[in-house]
Amino acid sequence: MYDAGAPVRSLWEETAPPLADGADTGPNGDETCDVAIIGGGFTGLSCALHLARDFSLDVRLLEAGPLGWGASGRNGGFCTLPPMGLSLDGLISRYGEAEAKHFIASQVEATRFVRSFAEDEGIDIEPQGEGELHVAHAPSRYAELEHERDLLTGTFGIPARLIPREEVAREWYDSQEQFGALHVGAGFGLHPLRFVRGLAEVAARAGAKLHGHSPVTQWEREGAAHRLVTPSGTIRASRVVVATNGFTRAPMPVTLAHNVLPVMSNIVVTRPLSEAELDTQNWRTETPCANTRNLLFYYRLLPDRRFLFGARGDLTGKPEDGFRMRRFMERRLGEVFPGWAHVETTHSWRGFVCMAARLTPSLGALPDDESVFFALGYHGNGVAAAPWAGRLLAQLIGGKADSADIPAPLRGPPRSIPFPALRRWYLKGALGYYRVMDL
């Protein structure tokens, strides 16, 4: 799963325009710069753009594979909120109402930032739908959605409407796991690799030097500078940004690498569906949907009428387990949407989302080395959060923002995970527990 030379073979790779000529300058040489960024996804590219354009800093970005090779280029394209594993009640209980509101407001702004940035820069991200539909997968979950609506509208000021099962079936879609839904009026769907490549082009045009196929294999301090070694050369930088999310591992700082948990997520996509096939489930929406399972299904209809269906994955990353997960997801797709049980899938791919013990992202500078910045841990919902976080990192480095501008739920490094070598076993136990709860 960490082999950056392995192609993703996603639908996005087949349908995105190529990266602009010269945006990726290829493997790095021996260079010195103000800021080195490790990770060429939404976070890193946004940070590189804003550092170069807004603060005229000399920036080098290092990506192990092609730009956008990680989660940024292979996710489901849900530009929605919030990027956390906590419930809204849990968020308020832990951080207080004021900081919870600060955080959620920042993420609503993040969804707007993505849309406005793409429009301003002429990036065709194929935006679809308005907001997101949270679907009760069992009758008991509908009451929980009512409470979520009350918090969203009353506490956080986000438009949200509870929709009974009959209306969802009539106006949106129907399925075997549809018992009413909550429409949240923030966010939309998009083509993630179109956004990545557009963001890279804008960053390169602003003067950031982007180096694909440049994995960092060694990281040392050399006086006041950081020395980052790749197979093709050495970058010396005054400051470093870690923007590797679920692909964070050595030689990244232990504080980050040992305290995040990569979790597999899988996607299958069908062939284009005919109008008659769409009618079998009364499918009438382009709004992104996710159900209320702990191990959720997320799904949406794409512009060419293909159907994207996603779920959490296996624990090994082995090819044979990837094939097994594809069969599982094809079976579950047919069970949830029986009108499409006969429809074949044309694409299947997977990658890492990033979880952490406190169940919220982490953003800031390392306490023991304030020249090292980071933003990661988006909990499977980083399409809006990551570009926003990259911009905030640039503002922190450029002196336009300070730690008080970081909402408390994101501020500081991830919480320590005891005995990090056991992380896969922790995950195995959690997945087993959630499967039982979903039943």
d(CA 195, CA 124): 8
- Beta-strand relationship, 31-38 and 233-242: parallel
With a cut of 70, say whether residue 433 has pLDDT above it.
no
d(CA 113, CA 105): 12
d(CA 53, CA 131): 31
CB 152 within 8 A of CB 82: no
- What backbone phi and psi angles, to 5 degrees, belong to 230? -125, 170
**317-342 pLDDT per residue, tens:** 999 999 999 999 999 999 999 999 99
The three-state (H, E, C) secondary structure of 14-44, written as one string: HHCCCCCCCCECCCCCCEEEEEEEECCCHHH
Does 379 map to a domain? yes
Element (H, E) at 324: helix 319-336
pLDDT above 70 as % of the chain = 99
With a cut of 90, say whether residue 314 has pLDDT above it.
no
pLDDT above 90 as % of the chain = 92
CB 311 within 8 A of CB 293: no
Domain that holds residue 220: 28-76+193-261+358-432
**216-231 pLDDT per residue, tens:** 999 999 999 999 999 9
With a cut of 90, say whether residue 426 has pLDDT above it.
no
**89-110 pLDDT per residue, tens:** 999 999 999 999 999 999 999 9
Mean pLDDT to the nearest integer, 363-383: 97
Confidence of residue 56 (pLDDT cuts 50, 70, 90): very high
CB 51 within 8 A of CB 397: yes
Q: Between the CA of residue 350 and those of 2, 309, 378, what are the distances in Å?
A: 12, 12, 17
| pLDDT of 193 | 98
d(CA 208, CA 211): 10
Does 335 map to a domain? no
Does 203 map to a domain? yes
CB 175 within 8 A of CB 332: no
Structure tokens at 289: 């949907």
Does 57 map to a domain? yes
Length of the chain: 439
**385-424 pLDDT per residue, tens:** 999 999 999 999 999 999 999 999 999 999 999 888 888 8
With a cut of 80, say whether residue 295 has pLDDT above it.
no
d(CA 279, CA 308): 17
Q: Classify residue 213 as left (phi > 0), alpha (psi -120 to 50) or beta.
A: left
CB 195 within 8 A of CB 114: yes
- CATH number at 226 reads 3.50.50.60
Scanning 82-176, the segments in alpha helix (DSSP H) are: 88-121, 139-150, 165-171
Does 269 map to a domain? no
With a cut of 80, say whether residue 301 has pLDDT above it.
yes
> What total of structural domains would you count in the chain?
1
Closest C-alpha to 236, from 260, 220, 254, 259: 220
Does 319 map to a domain? no
Does 53 map to a domain? yes
Mean pLDDT to the nearest integer, 233-260: 97
| pLDDT of 109 | 98
**Alpha-carbon Rg for the chain in angstroms:** 21
Does 112 map to a domain? no
d(CA 377, CA 411): 12
With a cut of 70, say whether residue 434 has pLDDT above it.
no
